[in-house]
Structure 1
Amino acid sequence: MLAQVNRVAFDLFGLQIYWYAIIIVSGIALALWLSTREALRVGLKEDDMTNFILWALPIAIIGARLYYVLFDLEPYLADPVQIFNIRNGGLAIYGGLIAAVIVLIIYTRYHFIDPWLFLDVVSPGVMLAQAMGRWGNFMNHEAYGGETTRRFLENLHLPQFIINNMYIDGAFRQPTFLYESLWSLIGFVLILFIRKNGTTKRGELFLGYVTWYSFGRFFIEGMRTDSLYLFGGIRVSQLLSLLLFVGGLVLLYYRRKKNTNIKLYERDKGINQALI
């Protein structure tokens, strides 16, 4: 019998606490910490981030759940109570991101903050949180791909605990959670490098995040066996990834070449240089 990872981390007063929840919360906390530090560098206030997350987090969770439920509606119509059961997963990243961006636009408008600057500040942390969050899917046996062999997984030089946990429903599976996690992690590093060493206009870091993530997600989504579908067998997240990739490139080009009035993304506005 394969030694698989237990998705339950521990029991707290009779309540099972899942690794999924711990990993997701840890990713959000790290994203908030990184965004707060960067906010101080660009002249925003620490409270701008903490106040935003108080609004955005619960609405993003609702958005992530609604996205998932709406595109897989039949089982929830049969048992509506399960709509509220998110302990076993069933949160769609795109739904959460869409909801969070809507909150961000409203929040920045109300507080007279440039939304493009705010998006640039939070994008690296969000991408890192996404890289971490996929490991929550790993613990829950979600976001996996089609059948493969143990030899294939061993040839990827994966640790045994990953290989063993990829044995799902009687077969070894493609670790698409890992592919997306690594893709997001590389994107996180690239954004940090560009932010530190490049000259970008406001909004370009965010649009870089959008195009990078959507490009990788398009191909990784095509490998998954648990995708949400539209009519005609179209994968929802693949279609959205394609639209976001094209839209992101168009906006990048327009804002860089056609609109010369956009401010630069400037850091270190009177902030302690010891901050990283």
Structure 2
Amino acid sequence: MLQSIPSPSPEWQGVPVGEWLTNLMPFLGNDVTLPWGATFNLANFDIRTYALCILLGILLAAWLTARRLRQRGVDGGLVIDVAVFAVILGIIGARVFHVLTYPDEYLGENFDLYNVIAVWNGGVAIFGALIAGALGIWLGCKYTGLRFTTFVDALAPGMLIAQAAGRLGNYVNHELFGQPTGLPWGLQIEATNPAFPVGLPEGTLFHPTFLYEIIWNLVGAAVILWLDRRRDIQWGKAAGLYLIWYGVGRIVWESIRINPSEVFFGIRVNVWAAIGAVVLGVIIWLVQSRRHPGLEPTPWQPGREPEDDAVDSETYSELDEADTTAEPAVGAGTATTTT
């Protein structure tokens, strides 16, 4: 019977790529001189597992988004073109939001520009990634000609899957756990962990908030895919549903975390951000449902359709389609008998 969830060994936090290379190719040596003269210790080069989890999430999201775009008749390869903008800006935004969330740690008396930009040492925030990533998607769509709403709707379930993959990195790093709990799935955290609350006895178990969010996100991805299959959720409404689903879950998980955070009016800053996501998602759903009750006529921006997919905007619209379907059948109501 499950009594607790063990934390993985600290050795899991990094992949010793440098050690493997020096063992396989001893001629490389431990110290490598770079072209500009600096010395790099190859033997100590590790790839952080958390970074690999984020990379896995990006790949899964890109694959699912490409598949969903192909169902709309769009070349799935365009995902890469948009992702170049979205991923770069998303990483920058995630780091900036994280730094602003912990100003005393990064911007206080011990300010160090290197620590501010050293994202490879950990410290990103999903809400910053969403804000800056959305800007990147908009730029990518301007470049490729795709509708912004088409792309974000295709991305919505993949985003939840990507975030679930990223939470595995938090588990490996023994971080962002919740309050103490006596539940049988409580998470084991070593008392030497800097985040272990002072005054609690060794062996205290904590809420595995990473696991809660993984389950919540995967269920949310399944819900969006199911609803989209039944109702064809378009015009940004799938993205709105994503914001609502993720925001509601994040309000709960963030409220039981014990890691330090800026607080405004007694509420953690990320809870405020999650509330904002829910409100924005509801607004998107309501406004777009009212303005666009039907389907998108094309996944392309007006005038940017490929020649073989071009749609005459003067002869095709949701209103025209509705009017056509509302016309009575030929001869209806005028039938006569002949003798």
With structure 2 as the length reference, what TM-score do the two structures score? 0.69
Relative to 1, partners in 2 of residues 1:75 and 1:9: Cα closer, same or farther, differing over 3 Å?
A: closer
List, as ranges, runs of 4+ consecutive aligned residues in structure 1 with deviation greater than 6 Å.
none
User: Would you say the 8 A contact 2:235–2:292 is kept in 1?
Assistant: no
Aligned-partner Cα distance in 2 for 1:98–1:92? 10
- The residue number in structure 1 matching 2:37 is none
What root-mean-square deviation, in Å, do the aligned CA atoms of Structure 1 and Structure 2 show?
2.4
The secondary structure found in structure 1 opposite 2:188 is helix
Could you tell me whether the CA contact under 8 Å between 1:202 and 1:265 is conserved in 2?
no
Q: Is the alpha carbon distance of 1:202 and 1:175 closer, same or farther for their aligned partners in structure 2, counting shifts above 3 Å?
A: same
Going by fraction, where is helix more abundant, 1 or 2? 1
Kindly provide the amino acid, as one letter, of the partner of residue 253 in structure 1: L
Rounded Cα–Cα distance in structure 2 between residues aligned with 1:125 and 1:9:
26
What is the rounded CA distance, in whole Å, between the counterparts of 1:218 and 1:26 in structure 2? 25
Q: How many residues align?
A: 257
1:191-202 correspondence runs (5 A): 191-202=224-235
In structure 1, the residue matched to 2:38 is: none
Q: Tell me which residue corresponds to 1:5.
A: 9
CA distance in 2, matches of 1:192, 1:140: 31
CA 1:200/1:46 → structure 2, altered by over 3 Å: closer, same or farther?
Answer: closer
Which residue number in structure 2 is paired with residue 263 of structure 1?
Answer: 295
Residue 70 of structure 1: aligned partner: 100
SS in 2 for 1:148: coil
Q: 1:226 to 1:254 in 2, by over 3 A?
A: same
The question of whether the paired residues in 2 share the 8 Å contact of 1:255 and 1:262 is answered with no
Whole-angstrom distance in 2 between the partners of 1:264 and 1:3: 47
The CA distance in 2 between the partners of 1:72 and 1:50, in whole Å, is 32
1:130-185 Cα offsets, whole Å, 9 max, x none, are 01111111111222111223xx1x2x4x7xxxx43577524321111111111101
Cα distance in 2 between the residues matched to 1:230 and 1:3:
29
Deviation at 1:266, TM superposition (A): 8.4
CA distance in 1, matches of 2:84, 2:7: 39
For 2:282 and 2:220, how far apart are their aligned partners in 1? 16
Q: 1:3 and 1:90 mapped to 2: Cα distance?
A: 20
Structure-2 residue corresponding to 1:164: 188
2:67 is aligned to 37
Which residue identity does 2:16 align to in structure 1? D
Contact 2:243-2:280 at 8 Å conserved across structures: no
> Per-residue displacement from partner, 1:30-83 (whole Å, max 9, x unpaired)?
111111122111122233210111222122111101100012112223142212
The SS at the match of 2:238 is helix
Change (3 A) 1:134 1:166: farther
Q: Measured at CA, do residues 249 and 232 of structure 1 come closer, stay the same or move farther in structure 2, by a change above 3 Å?
A: closer
Larger Rg: 2
Q: Does 1:143 align with 2:176?
A: yes
* 1:273 alignment counterpart: none
Contact persistence 1:35–1:125 (CA under 8 A): yes
Is the Cα contact below 8 Å between 2:163 and 2:214 reproduced in 1? yes
User: TM-score, normalised on structure 1?
Assistant: 0.84
**Percentage of pairs with the same residue:** 29
Structure 2 contact 179–257 (Cα < 8 Å) conserved: yes
Give the CA deviation at 1:85: 2.6
Distance of 2:260 and 2:129 partners within structure 1: 16
Q: Which has the higher contact order (CA 8 A, sep 6+)?
A: 1
* Residues in 2 aligned to 1:122 and 1:190: alpha-carbon distance in whole angstroms: 14
